Amino acid sequence: MNERCVLVTGFAPFAGEARNPSFEIVRRLDGERLGAHRIVGAFLPVVFGAAAAGLEGLLDTHRPELALAIGQAGGRDSLSLERVAINLVDARIADNSGMQPIDVEVVRGAPSAYFASLPLKAMRAAMLAAGVPTTLSLSAGSFVCNEVFYALCHLRATRDARMRSGFLHVPWLPEQAVDHPGQPSMALETMLTGVRAGLACALATVDDLHVPGGSTH
Amino acid sequence: MNERCVLVTGFAPFAGEARNPSFEIVRRLDGERLGAHRIVGAFLPVVFGAAAAGLEGLLDTHRPELALAIGQAGGRDSLSLERVAINLVDARIADNSGMQPIDVEVVRGAPSAYFASLPLKAMRAAMLAAGVPTTLSLSAGSFVCNEVFYALCHLRATRDARMRSGFLHVPWLPEQAVDHPGQPSMALETMLTGVRAGLACALATVDDLHVPGGSTH
Amino acid sequence: MNERCVLVTGFAPFAGEARNPSFEIVRRLDGERLGAHRIVGAFLPVVFGAAAAGLEGLLDTHRPELALAIGQAGGRDSLSLERVAINLVDARIADNSGMQPIDVEVVRGAPSAYFASLPLKAMRAAMLAAGVPTTLSLSAGSFVCNEVFYALCHLRATRDARMRSGFLHVPWLPEQAVDHPGQPSMALETMLTGVRAGLACALATVDDLHVPGGSTH
Amino acid sequence: MNERCVLVTGFAPFAGEARNPSFEIVRRLDGERLGAHRIVGAFLPVVFGAAAAGLEGLLDTHRPELALAIGQAGGRDSLSLERVAINLVDARIADNSGMQPIDVEVVRGAPSAYFASLPLKAMRAAMLAAGVPTTLSLSAGSFVCNEVFYALCHLRATRDARMRSGFLHVPWLPEQAVDHPGQPSMALETMLTGVRAGLACALATVDDLHVPGGSTH
């Protein structure tokens, strides 16, 4: 019998950083329980193609009911629930294998975009109620984070529509921000509080809140 | 015989502002020539539905080769060439008719997103070379600006694939920013220099530049 | 026999906030030891005049070797070691008693400004080494924080030149930033790590580091 | 007979920039009239010591009734009227002669700080009324701009108390900001409108406005 499972993924450090907060979040969450569910934490490389392939393997192995991929967004001040994954790779910097693809599709011929299938507005409310600054975001960029988010949505759409999935961007850790003067950060414990509150809410919520959450531009 | 035509649209003031820089840009550009093309400037209301309908009428009337919709993005510091229109309306504030739709599609059942069909990276290079701060953006928000951008792309895809189209977000004017302390602005003349350089480049460019232009998040 | 003492002061909540991180830092540090020194934590009201008077009483009572006043700087992303206290009160908002003095001196006829007498650059280095984002700041504002900083420097100059003193501004707590979307914050534990590292460094350091720490504007 | 005169000074480009907006403002204003006054525009080097010496020579030659030094503050979004000059040099970068002094006084043994003697709040109101984003600032930094501001105030205090004086920081020009993505700028014409409105107000105003203009931190 498979246990009911929540998959959370994090990334290796990249862009010259020694750490990646998403990696540390996932290492901490791995094996925790959320009610009837067990959290499986796993790592993905910051390498185009390999990241999406790694994700596909994890979904095959664990068949999670809910999957949340997490990535670092250095310079943001809040946890960011991503709403849209786009079928575009346009790398501002090289990935960890040295590749820097420009203006190609994540999946050839697939839809231009997918929307997250998690109840993001309810999750945001729960995370704010837990005291953790959280926003909704309409762009996950065009780097490996977006590729994984897109691949996650595409696999859901093409193979397992029961699974609900989304992506969370997190700020730098304070220990990273000491090398980025004038940039915000967030403590690992604060991030963990937010992620736990968000996942618990997602598991308990079927219909999302009907409240505003967009931006004028 | 129809003259060859470039359509630029601007919006009415909204969100309590007395002015909208996109309106003033379009008023100035209307009737100008760009080589063999005449610029037609026209205005759209900041009203969901009516804005897209107005755009459709303009396309029917003028049959432009190139259409650039322009909108205000208060708080941004640069001209922003938008890359992605999403099939989502989620209004943070009410539009000028008092409507505030939440989490509905722009066009029911249509694709999740469209990419702009203008050579945005070449346009950015031309606008920077003209001395005007310009960036590429992966989100046009989820308000009326995005609706018009999405409708423009959808009409292109479903009715007139010859037309190339895109969306430009512009900062507040200095005269608006005096009421928003600590927020950036841009002079109308600077915006006009940028828009003219961008349009001229778009008309002269078939294949976009193959240079990085994405973001990591 | 008096024990050797370090005084840290924090403020009551103000500006409609339910909490003030400086208050919580001081409550946690009160009674801790730093080598041969005991930390005394005490609270000051956010009221012009009363804050400076309260500080004077604390100095009389405790005769600290080192005094660090701490205050909230909502919107900053890092701990900020303040370098300059100015003889100016110009309140952007009312204090907690409803007073809003404009363009008056903190101490009539006293010098225009004082510089902190702590080894701020060494402290910054120690706080960064502890993993806590920390900057030097050339303005503590013109509200009650600056008044207390100025009063502290003035009392040192006029009564007890042995005492070394300074001021630290701290960001909002995450629990406060949930009500300020798009604004940075810092966890209380991160702040505590930074303050402890800074105080320990100050006690151990006589001559400050000779490294750049200014700003071009 | 000397004509009544207003002195405005600008700086040479520095920090690798090809232009300095303060230089261009001053070149444009030189020779203009403001009612009974003639504007004298003059340039200062971005070199510690030489800048202050150059200023002293200009005051000797022109004996202005009012002197406004202007400098570039790359990254700011508004014109900034500086309120406080401090007796501190702490250079974050080398000046144009390669010197990088750290933690020395501008004038040995002189007061810690001076306040501007212009009616800054009235000027701000006039500049805002002219449609130009303008703020009051409590720190002019610790580089050559602050040195010139301090020297100006010190010369006033020690030699010519009739002269009123101040300092204005201005943003990058758009042509500079193209090399600083994500940073604000302001058009030269907008700056000129603001400076003219501010100077005219200063000449016409004896007592400053009694309105709030400080900051809480």
Mind listing the pLDDT tens digit for each residue in A41-86?
Answer: 999 999 999 999 999 999 999 999 999 999 999 999 999 999 999 9
Residue numbers in A near C135 (CB within 8 A): 181-182
| Distance of residue D69 Cα from the nearest chain C Cα, in angstroms | 13
Catalytic residues of A: 82, 145, 169
Residue numbers in B near D177 (CB within 8 A): 77-78, 133
Structural domain contains residue D129: yes
Residue C38: other Cβ atoms inside 10 A: 17
Give the span between the Cα atoms of B202 and B193, in whole angstroms.
14
pTM value is: 0.97
Q: Do A187 and C189 touch (CB under 8 A)?
A: yes
Q: B73 is written with which tokens?
A: 């993005």
Residue C62: other Cβ atoms inside 10 A: 17
Number of domains in chain B: 1
Give the span between the Cα atoms of D144 and D153, in whole angstroms.
14
Active-site residue, from C65, C147, C154, C169: C169
Residue numbers in B near A72 (CB within 8 A): 217
Distances (CA, A) of D31 to D20, D28, D40, D90: 20, 8, 6, 35
Structural domain contains residue B187: yes
> Directed axis angle between helix C120-129 and helix C188-204, to 10°?
130
Looking at residue D2, what is its pLDDT? Answer: 58
Give the span between the Cα atoms of D47 and D54, in whole angstroms.
10
Mean pLDDT over A28-46 rounds to: 97
Residue A176: other Cβ atoms inside 10 A: 21
CA-based end-to-end distance of chain C: 48
Give the span between the Cα atoms of B29 and B178, in whole angstroms.
25
Give the span between the Cα atoms of C31 and A138, in whole angstroms.
48
CA-based end-to-end distance of chain D: 48
Q: In whole numbers, what is the pLDDT of chain C averaged over residues?
A: 97
Give the CATH number of the domain where residue D101 resides: 3.40.630.20
Residue C1: pLDDT above 60?
no
Question: Among C138, D89, A216, which residue's Cα sits nearest to residue B141?
Answer: A216
Optimal mutation site among D17, D76, D78, D81, interface B, most CBs of chain B within 10 A: D78
Structural domain contains residue C86: yes
Residue B30: pLDDT above 90?
yes
Give the span between the Cα atoms of B33 and B80, in whole angstroms.
23
Binned average pLDDT, 10 residues per bin, chain D of 217 residues: 86 96 98 97 98 97 97 98 98 97 98 98 98 98 98 95 95 98 97 98 96 94
Q: Do C143 and D217 touch (CB under 8 A)?
A: yes
Looking at residue D1, what is its pLDDT? Answer: 42
Looking at residue B1, what is its pLDDT? Answer: 43
Structural domain contains residue A217: no
Q: What is the per-residue pLDDT across A155-186, written as a single tens digit (0 to 9) for each? A: 999 998 899 999 999 999 999 999 999 999 99
Residue numbers in C near A81 (CB within 8 A): none
Q: Do A187 and C182 touch (CB under 8 A)?
A: no
Q: Do D138 and C86 touch (CB under 8 A)?
A: yes
Closest residue in chain B to residue D190, using alpha carbons only: B187
Structural domain contains residue B61: yes
Nearest by CB: B182 against D77, D187, D190: D77
Residue A194: pLDDT above 70?
yes
The alpha carbon dihedral of C144, C149, C150, C151 has a sign of positive
Report the DSSP pairing between strands B66-72 and B37-44.
Answer: unpaired
Optimal mutation site among B77, B127, B176, B211, interface D, most CBs of chain D within 10 A: B77
Residue A94: other Cβ atoms inside 10 A: 15
Give the span between the Cα atoms of A46 and A41, in whole angstroms.
16
- Domain that includes residue C41, residue range: 5-204
Closest residue in chain C to residue D90, using alpha carbons only: C214
Looking at residue B160, what is its pLDDT? Answer: 84
Structural domain contains residue C214: no
Q: Do C214 and D92 touch (CB under 8 A)?
A: yes
Looking at residue D98, what is its pLDDT? Answer: 97
Structural domain contains residue B215: no
Mean pLDDT over C87-115 rounds to: 98
Looking at residue A161, what is its pLDDT? Answer: 84
Active site residue C145: yes
Nearest by CB: D84 against C76, C86, C145: C86
- Under DSSP, is residue D33 helix (H, G, I), strand (E, B) or coil? strand
Give, as one character, the DSSP assignment of residue A185. Answer: B
Cβ-Cβ contacts under 8 Å for C107 (sequence gap 6 or more): C87, C150, C151, C154
Closest residue in chain D to residue B172, using alpha carbons only: D133
Q: Do A210 and B103 touch (CB under 8 A)?
A: yes
Write out the DSSP string of A56-67. HHHHHHH--SEE
ipTM: 0.96
Closest residue in chain D to residue B193, using alpha carbons only: D174
Residue B2: pLDDT above 80?
no
Structural domain contains residue D216: no
Give the span between the Cα atoms of C21 and C39, in whole angstroms.
17
Share of chain B above pLDDT 90, in %: 98
Looking at residue A2, what is its pLDDT? Answer: 59
* Interface A-B: count of C-beta contacts within 8 A: 131
